[in-house]
Amino acid sequence: MRLRAGKGYSITALGTGPVPTHPLKLIEANVACTPFDGGLRISGMFELGARDGAGRARPIRHVLRRARRYLPDWTPTGPAVRLAGMRPATPDSLPIIGAVPGHPGLFTATGPGTLGLTLAPATAALLASLVLDGRDAPELAPFAPDRFGRAGHRARTDHHRLGGGHPAPGWVGAVVRRARPDRPGRPG
């Protein structure tokens, strides 16, 4: 399945000074702030290709620094809860939902990227009717599990033709970019 981890980080802390009374998405900073247990949870980052969920200090500091530009009067006071998590991401940023081809009775609902919680209810509602009644909801068409099948095969073939080794499991775009001979040493 064409998935990569988009690793994100969050820090939850009590603090002094005013905090937002409702969740905010700070678009330019690419950070979200949510009131949480009398404090604030700040989350962000989308590290592609991460291999583990370790909570590294540097990106967490980065997320906090970005948010604090918008919260100049808020100062976190310890102790803070620091978390990291791997969000399943797809090449076209759409989730993969539906019956798995070639495996009758197997279904998948993954790849929501940063919107796992948001998309969960609608995903469950649409998938339930497919699993229980065999009714393929038309709304699920853009999320078909087999949509990368042919393109994935073509990218792997191009990669070998251009002299690449066996491509690591990953998504189509990443495989094609590694194979660009006109930009040696640089991503395409």
Ligand X SMILES: Cc1cc2nc3c(=O)[nH]c(=O)nc-3n(C[C@H](O)[C@H](O)[C@H](O)COP(=O)(O)OP(=O)(O)OC[C@H]3O[C@@H](n4cnc5c(N)ncnc54)[C@H](O)[C@@H]3O)c2cc1C
Give yes or no for residue 55 binding ligand X (CB under 6 A): no
Using the contact rule CB under 6 A, the part of the chain among 12-20, 72-80, 112-120, 170-178 near ligand X is 112-120
**Contact with ligand X (CB under 6 A): which of 20, 55, 85, 164?**
85
**Contact with ligand X (CB under 6 A): which of 11, 32, 99, 140?**
32
What's 104-136 look like in SS3?
Answer: CCCEEEECCHHHHHHHHHHHHHHHHHHHHHCCC
Give yes or no for residue 4 binding ligand X (CB under 6 A): no
Concatenate the DSSP letters of all residues of 36-84 into one string: ETTEEEEEEEEEET--S----HHHHHHHHHHHHTT-TT-EEEEEEEEEE
Give yes or no for residue 114 binding ligand X (CB under 6 A): yes
Q: Within 164-183, which residues bind ligand X (CB under 6 A)? A: none
**Contact with ligand X (CB under 6 A): which of 20, 35, 55, 116?**
116
In a 3-state reduction of DSSP, which class is residue 27? coil
Give yes or no for residue 157 binding ligand X (CB under 6 A): no
* Kind plus residue range of the DSSP H or E element containing 156: helix 149-161
Give yes or no for residue 87 binding ligand X (CB under 6 A): yes
Give yes or no for residue 35 binding ligand X (CB under 6 A): no
Q: What residue type is assigned to position 1 of the chain?
A: M
Q: Which residues bind ligand X (CB under 6 A)?
A: 8-10, 32, 43, 85, 87, 114-118
